Amino acid sequence: MSLLEVKNIDVRYGDFLALHDISLNVEEGSIVSLIGANGAGKSTIMNTICGLNKPVKGEILFDGKNISGLKPSRISKYGLSMAPEGSHCFERMTVKDNLLMGAYLAKGSERMERLKSVYKLFPVLEEKQNQMSTYLSGGQRQMLAIGRGIMTQPRILLCDEISLGLAPVVINDIYEKLKEISAQGITLLIVEQDVNRSLKNSDYAYVILEGRVVMEGKSKELNVEDVNDAYFGMNKYAH
């Protein structure tokens, strides 16, 4: 069953049409990856799904309900959470408070339960719980962003550029954690710039080029060379 359906959306920044007729389908329980070069429109797609941008055309259905144009806070209450690009967190707050902020609507005991489960997934966040977030390493910040995302107990977690600037060993670790999160029943929509890594770690992938979907398919059935051509806008993918 489809949990998230993006149907033919256009998004503009002033005169610039950043997304052209984008359609995506995310099955419940799956891991879906968006691949594309810098400036392709990946973050714009993610931000539009979570309500930070408004589409000028098309609609976004979450569990069958039209969420396009709703405020981010409302969308988040439906069970959609985002770990943003650049792993933004509240720098002057401790790791623990950053995580607790993610579940500010939950009851005290429930928040503590969720905190425990995030610590189980990312033990390093428990070790650093009383430190200011500003002192975390890049990988730890990324873990904090994901941890804060799952504190809301979302049905779907959107992760933008989770591997940006991280060492391969840390990236592998983060993908392992995402698999654990997926095994807990949380659907994942992930932005990834590395084609091989994207195909290896997802069930379904979309290649975005200049604001359009130029290729899609089951990750294990997509051909890496074709995906690379699409990624760089070669041959028939150019427009």
Ligand X SMILES: Nc1ncnc2c1ncn2[C@@H]1O[C@H](COP(=O)(O)OP(=O)(O)OP(=O)(O)O)[C@@H](O)[C@H]1O
Q: List binders of ligand X among 192-231 (CB under 6 A).
A: 193
- For residues 110 and 239, what is the distance between their CA atoms, to the nearest angstrom? 51
Please give the residues from 150 up to 189 whose contact with ligand X meets the rule CB under 6 A: 161
Please choose, out of 41-49, 169-177, 179-187, 215-223, the segment that lies near ligand X by the rule CB under 6 A. 41-49
3-state SS, residue 35: strand
Please choose, out of 34-42, 67-75, 143-151, 167-175, the segment that lies near ligand X by the rule CB under 6 A: 34-42
- The H or E element that residue 76 is part of is helix 72-77
The binder of Mg ion chosen from 3, 24, 26, 43 (CB under 5 A): 43
Cβ-count burial 124-157 (b if 16+ within 10 Å, e if not): bbbebeeeebeebeebbbbbbbbbbbbbbbbbbb
Size of the site for Mg ion (CB under 5 A): 3
Strands (E) in 131-211, as ranges, are 156-159, 187-192, 204-209
Cβ atoms of residues 3 and 25 within 8 Å = no
* Residue 41 binding result from ligand X, Mg ion, none, given CB thresholds of 5 to 8 Å by partner type: ligand X
Q: What does the per-residue mask of binding to Mg ion show for 51-90, with x meaning CB under 5 A? A: ----------------------------------x-----
> Is 13 one of the binding residues for ligand X (CB under 6 A)?
yes
- Rank residues 36 and 147 by Cβ distance to ligand X and give the closer one: 36
Whole-number minimum distance, CB 230 to ligand X, in Å?
14
How far is 239 from 234, CA to CA, in rounded Å? 9
Distance linking the first and last C-alpha atoms of the chain? 33
Binding site for ligand X (CB under 6 A): 13, 16, 18, 36, 38-44, 85, 161, 193
Binding site for Mg ion (CB under 5 A): 42-43, 85
